Structure 1
Amino acid sequence: MTGSLESTVDVADARELVRSAPRTRLIDVRTPGEFAAAHIPGSHNVPLDVLRAHHTELTADHSDPVVLVCGSGVRAAEARGLLAAAGLPKLTVLKGGIGAWEQQGAPVSRGRGKWAMERQVRLAAGSLVLAGVVGSAVAPKLKWLAGFIGAGLTFSALSNTCGMARMLSLLPYNRTPEQDVPSLLAALT
Structure 2
Amino acid sequence: MLGMDQRHWLMESMQQSDADFFFVVSSVPFMIPHRGAGGFEAASNKEEAWTAFLDEREKLISFWDTLKRPVFVMTGDLHNSFAIQITDRVWEFCSGPHNSVNHVPSLDEDNRPATGIYNSGGQPCDIRWSTYILEDLPRLQRLYPHYLVVQINNVFNMPQQLGGERLVAYPHPQVIFQYHEGRTGKMVYAESVVLPR
Q: TM-score, normalised by structure 2?
A: 0.30
Structure with the largest fraction of helix: 1
Greater relative contact order: 1 or 2 (C-alpha under 8 angstroms, separation 6 or more)?
A: 1
Q: TM-score, normalised by structure 1?
A: 0.31
